[in-house]
Structures are given as structure tokens and as C-alpha cells.
Amino acid sequence: MSTDIPLNSLGFAKKPADTRVVVAMSGGVDSSVVAAQLAEEGYDVVGVTLQLYDHGAALAKKGACCAGQDIHDARRVAEAMGFPHYVLDYENTFREAVIDEFADAYLGGATPVPCIRCNERVKFKDLLETAKDLDADCMATGHYIQRKPGPLKAELHCAADANRDQSYFLFSTKQEQLDFLRFPLGHLPSKNETRALAAKYGLSVADKPDSQDICFVPNGNYASVIEKLRPGAADPGDIVDMNGTVVGTHKGVIHYTIGQRRGLGIGGQADPLYVVRLDPDKKQVIVGPKEALATRVIPVREINWLGDEPFTSRKEWHLAVKVRSTRPPRDAIVRPISETEAEVELIVAEEGVSPGQACVFYSPDDSRILGGGWIWKGAA
């Protein structure tokens, strides 16, 4: 008689009770369902929540993760499902690895995506190491993305529900991290199934609204956060056209983003003008016609490559790329310069491509994510 134990739902050849999984719990419905589901399946679940910034400032704020109420909600789920729960103070790490860079990037005229840096530098780095210290076999999160076994290694794939897919925010996941991570919600057809599971398990967060804001940016007001972190950042200056002619004044470069048209205060122009570039050193907001926003060639660096062949093994890759989280992938030619740098040529020009945003690589043939990098200077 064979004594082989079939793989459990997390991919290990042992019983769920003998498989320890650390669940990163934000206090929201997604990670709560992951923890409850794994606990019900009999896994040795340990819940961990990160305290990322000051409770006092966060307690009254709704719609963001990892605030005081969210820690309380995560603890209640753990108590209800009968598994241990720990809160780790990562405030200093979060400030140094995420918030400071966010502020400096904004001051440099870029449009940063701090959620990617948080996943890369805190959740999938320090927290993942903590999970290993706890002798966990793997770490599970509530992200909507799929990890699939490939012929050569574990692969990262888009979520089944395109409306919930979080691949843009997870492109920098390293292969060794992917080997250790699990995403139990990625295959669900819609968020409705997640909430139905939360109701089934009787979780107090079943009807909790999704977080909308960046957790440390109340009400989406980036400028007020930057002003607190970097006093003097909101100095006024000139709005100039592409010839350098002054057409108005602004109240601080940090209040503007590339592609912005409304709120410029420069009415009376023959054609609509858009923000096409920011020059923090000269304290200038440069405006131009819509066609000036069109970008074909994008310089990308800090590339994380998840493909089977080495990134530099080809002179060019024909891939689909996404340059904003809200836009679908577009056909492009990716030309490696080094293992971590490339020139990305879009087949059809995109508007509003901004330094500080990510450029994420997708297979043109299936749902696989092949990595990506950061857009880092004025694109052509």
C-alpha cells in the first residue's frame, strides 16, 4: 500500500495540521477570509498584522489598511477562528522604506506608487523573514493574484477577476519570495465570492468596505502629507508653456501631476493645456497640448525579471506592458540594456506616462506576469 501523502491545497506533501502558514492580516475582508479558510481546512495558522504608522493619527481614519481599527478587526477574526495573532511594530521600517521615498519622489516631480514599495520592502521582505523565523512552511496574503506551478518554477499570473487583479502592485516579487508565498483568493471569479465566504465563516468584517486610499495619505490628499514631511515643499512658482513663456503661477509643484488639466488656473487659452512635465529645481509646472503627453519610448530601471530565460538572453522581447494600474496592458518591445535596465517601446503611444510609476511586463500569450521595473526620467 502506498504511503505517499497527496499535496494539500497549499502544495505541500503533508497534512494541513502539519503545515504552518503565516497569514498577513490587514484587518480587511480579503486577508481575513484567507486566514479563516485556512484555519477551517485545518492548517496551523498564525496571523500577523503590521502596525505601520502612528495609531493616534490613524484611529479616526477609515478606508485605509493597518490602522488601529484594522488591528482590532484582525485580532477579532483570529479569536473567532481560534488561531494565534501577533502585531508587529514596523513603524520605523515603514517610514524609512516607504514614506520617506514617497515624499522625496514627489518632491522630485515623480508620481510614486508606495504600495509597491511596501509589498517589496516590508511585507514580502521583513514580514516574510519573520514568517520563516516562526518555522512557517509558507506565507499567505489576501492579494488578488495567482501563483501557479510552471514547468521550471513557480509562476506569477493575473487574478481570475480582471477587475480585482493586483499584478501591477506585485511585479517586484522576487522568485525566492514567490516560492514561499501563497495567494488563496486569486482564482475567485469576483469579490462577491470573498464576501460570501466571510459571511459563511461569520466574520465581523464581512461587510467592511474596501480600503481606497494609500494608508498614510488621509482622503487622498498627497500634498498635505508631503508638506508635513518636507516643510517648504509647497513653494509657489511659474506655470510655463513648452517654449518657456510664463502663462500663470502655481501653489507648489507637489500639487500637480502629469496629465492634469483641471485646476491649473490658466483659462483663456485657445486650446486646453495639460501638465506635461514638472521641474522641481526651477519650481516650474510645464504645460502643453494633449499630443505632448504622448509617449512611445520609456526608460525603465530596477527591473525584476520572472521569465524562464535570462532577461539579457534576447536583444528584444515582444511583451505586453502596463504603465498605469488602471490601464490594460499594451503591446510593446522591451530591449534589455542590462539585467536591471531596459528601453520599452510602446507600439501605440500612451498619454500621461510619468516617472515614478511602474512598467509591468506580461506574457503576450497568457496571464503570466514576467516582472517589470520603474519608469525613471522624462520619456520620449
Q: Which of 91-95, 126-130, 322-326, 368-372 has the highest mean predicted lDDT (pLDDT)?
A: 368-372
Confidence (pLDDT) at 269: 74
- Domain annotation for the chain: domains and CATH numbers: 16-219 (3.40.50.620), 234-288 (2.30.30.280), 293-375 (2.40.30.10)
- How confident is the model over 123-142, as pLDDT tens digits? 999 999 999 999 999 999 99
Q: What is the mean pLDDT of residues 282-307?
A: 94
Name the average pLDDT for the chain. Answer: 89
Residue 22 CB partners (closer than 8 Å, separation 6+): 46, 47, 48, 127, 130, 131, 134, 136, 138, 139, 140
- What is the spatial distance between Cα 299 and Cα 378, in angstroms, rounded to a whole number? 8
Alpha helices in the chain (DSSP H): 29-40, 55-58, 68-81, 91-94, 100-107, 114-118, 128-133, 175-180, 191-200, 222-229
166-208 pLDDT per residue, tens:
999 999 999 999 999 999 999 999 889 999 999 999 998 988 8
The yes-or-no verdict on residue 48 having pLDDT over 90 is yes
- In DSSP terms, 193 is beta-bridged to none
Place of cell 502629507: 225
- Catalytic: 215? yes
pLDDT in tens, 2-17: 457 899 999 999 999 9
Given the residues 66, 138, 215, 359, the one annotated as active site = 215
First-to-last CA distance in the chain? Answer: 66
CB atoms within 10 A of CB 209: 10
Query: Can you give the pLDDT at residue 215?
Result: 80
Residue in this structure with the C-alpha cell 488639466, named with its chain if needed: 261
Averaged pLDDT, 365-369: 96
Please tell me which residue in 65, 66, 115, 118 is annotated as part of the active site: 118
Task: Determine phi and psi for 222, rounding to 5 degrees.
Answer: -60, -45
